[in-house]
């Protein structure tokens, strides 16, 4: 699963606003807004989430699951647990 913060960061890294991501993914703007505002993991229809992930992938964004290695190359950013 991806988190709302991860989705917002991925979109920002791609240089897209919510409307552009919605258009590229073929989903509604309120869907993107709702997913990005959700607490914790993004919730929604699996097909819709797959469309969003595919649109981000086409834009060159790799979403990395927790404790998973990156499969791509190039520069990037990874979230980690904050230091105590």
- Reading the chain (84 residues) residue by residue, the pLDDT tens digits are 788 999 999 999 999 999 999 999 999 999 999 999 988 888 888 999 999 999 999 998 988 877 777 777 776 667 667 787
DSSP letter at 66 equals T
- Amino acid 49: pLDDT: 93
Determine the 3-state secondary structure of 41 from DSSP. strand
What 8-state DSSP symbol labels residue 60? T
Neighbouring residues of 16: CB distance < 8 A, sequence distance ≥ 6: 24, 59
Find the angle CA(20)-CA(26)-CA(27) to the nearest 5 degrees.
85
Question: Is 43 in a helix, a strand, or coil?
Answer: coil
């Amino acid at each position: 699963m991806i988190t709302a913060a991860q989705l917002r960061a991925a979109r920002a890294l791609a240089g897209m606003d919510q409307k552009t991501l919605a258009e590229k993914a073929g989903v509604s703007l309120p869907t993107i807004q709702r997913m990005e505002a959700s607490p914790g993991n993004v919730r929604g229809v699996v097909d819709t989430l797959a469309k969003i992930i595919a649109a981000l992938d086409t834009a060159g964004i790799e979403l990395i699951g927790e404790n998973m290695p990156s499969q791509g190359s190039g520069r990037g950013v990874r979230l980690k647990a904050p230091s105590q």
